[in-house]
Amino acid sequence: MTEARPTDGIPLLSFAPEGVAVVFGAGGGIGAALVQTLRGSQHFSQVLAFGRRTTPAIELLDESTLERAAELASDTGTLRLVIDATGFLHDERQMPEKSWRQLDANSLARCFALNATGPALIMKHVLPRLPREGKSVFATLSARVGSIGDNRLGGWYGYRASKAALNQIVRTAAVELARRSPSALCIALHPGTVATALSAPFEARGLQVHRPEEAARHLIGVIDTLGVDANGGFFDWRGLPVPW
Ligand SMILES: NC(=O)c1ccc[n+]([C@@H]2O[C@H](COP(=O)([O-])OP(=O)(O)OC[C@H]3O[C@@H](n4cnc5c(N)ncnc54)[C@H](OP(=O)(O)O)[C@@H]3O)[C@@H](O)[C@H]2O)c1
């Protein structure tokens, strides 16, 4: 019996064959699963993985590393799919704020640098390298908690606000991208609640928690389904629009 490939059921036929796929943040829970799933699909001629521990390595706080990765990827072939799976919620230095009492300038600046500025610089170097013709996609992993319209619980000021900023950058870049590459998409995606190091310390009360491999399949399925009218949009793992 042949083993099921991780993307069985996701044809990826919306993309021309022989293109290059790239994942930024390939060492993360969702990023690693995306790389594995895309490689398993065998639809792309190459699936390049960039993270802090790859060669070359990327560092969101160092633009030159993002430029070098984008350059290397486009030198490899036609960039059809680029997914930014980087992101930051907590580490040993800071946890998400529960109250305005915990607002701290350095922690806020760090959230913005990692969740908004870093991905913006990835876009700066990737979007001009997308092909002028045929479907291509730049997707960045945002989060539903970055939705202003959907914010009922409060808390997590820095993460929420930096993801909202990311969403605005996606939308703005999408307008510019459409002028250059009319069939290209620049989108923000909410992966759902996924069991990774990022979500580990938090109780997902009443939420469905997905394994990273499931999340990767969901996200790739959504990307495969979206047409050019989705450019500049914010979608969840089911393909449903998320309010800004
Ligand atoms: N997990 C969830 O439930 C959930 C829900 C909503 C949205 N998201 C979003 O999904 C994305 C992926 O999250 P995840 O759950 O896979 O988290 P994760 O396992 O913690 O992965 C985070 C990724 O960000 C990268 N990263 C962090 N700081 C970086 C820096 N300074 N320079 C370069 N890369 C850096 C990490 O790189 P290294 O591998 O090198 O550490 C890693 O690849 C994030 O944008 C997150 O906000 C996740």
Residue 207 has pLDDT above 90, yes or no: no
**Residue 49 CB-half CA count within 13 A:** 16
Q: Measured between alpha carbons, how far is 34 from 194 in angstroms, rounded to an integer?
A: 13
Q: Measured between alpha carbons, how far is 48 from 78 in angstroms, rounded to an integer?
A: 12
Q: Which of 90, 166, 198 to mutate to test the pocket of ligand 1 (most atoms within 8 A of CB)?
A: 198
Nearest CA owner, ligand 1 atom 20: 198
Quick one: average pLDDT of 78-83? 98
- In ligand 1, the atom with minimum distance to the C-alpha of 212 is 16
Rounded to the nearest whole angstrom, what is the distance from the C-alpha of residue 91 to the centroid of ligand 1? 11
Q: Measured between alpha carbons, how far is 34 from 19 in angstroms, rounded to an integer?
A: 16
Q: Measured between alpha carbons, how far is 178 from 184 in angstroms, rounded to an integer?
A: 7
Quick one: average pLDDT of 129-154? 98
- The reported pLDDT for the residue numbered 11 is 80
- In ligand 1, the atom with minimum distance to the C-alpha of 27 is 39
Q: Which residues contact 203 (CB under 8 A, 6 or more apart)?
A: none
Quick one: average pLDDT of 91-119? 98
Q: Measured between alpha carbons, how far is 68 from 58 in angstroms, rounded to an integer?
A: 9
| Pairing of the two strands 136-141 and 184-190 | parallel
Q: Measured between alpha carbons, how far is 76 from 163 in angstroms, rounded to an integer?
A: 31
Q: Lowest-confidence range among 11-15, 193-197, 236-240? A: 11-15
Using N-to-C axis directions, what is the helix angle for 29-41 and 212-225, rounded to 10°? 60
With pLDDT > 90 as the criterion, what percentage of the chain qualifies? 93
Quick one: average pLDDT of 103-112? 98
Q: Which of 86, 193, 213, 218 to mutate to test the pocket of ligand 1 (most atoms within 8 A of CB)?
A: 86
Quick one: average pLDDT of 136-152? 98
- The reported pLDDT for the residue numbered 215 is 98
**Ligand 1 shell residues, CB under 6 Å:** 25, 27-31, 51-53, 58-61, 85-88, 114, 141, 143, 190-191, 193-194, 196-199
- The reported pLDDT for the residue numbered 1 is 43
Quick one: average pLDDT of 211-215? 98
> Cβ distance 187 to 137 under 8 Å?
yes
* Bigger pLDDT: 9 vs 175: 175
- Across the chain, mean pLDDT equals 95
Instruction: Summarize pLDDT for 23-48 with one digit per residue, the tens.
Output: 999 999 999 999 999 999 999 999 99
* Bigger pLDDT: 206 vs 106: 106
Quick one: average pLDDT of 179-207? 95
Q: Sign of torsion, CA 126 169 238 35?
A: positive
Residue 6 has pLDDT above 60, yes or no: no
- The reported pLDDT for the residue numbered 126 is 99
Nearest CA owner, ligand 1 atom 45: 87
How far the first Cα of the chain sits from its last, in Å, is 46
- The reported pLDDT for the residue numbered 194 is 98
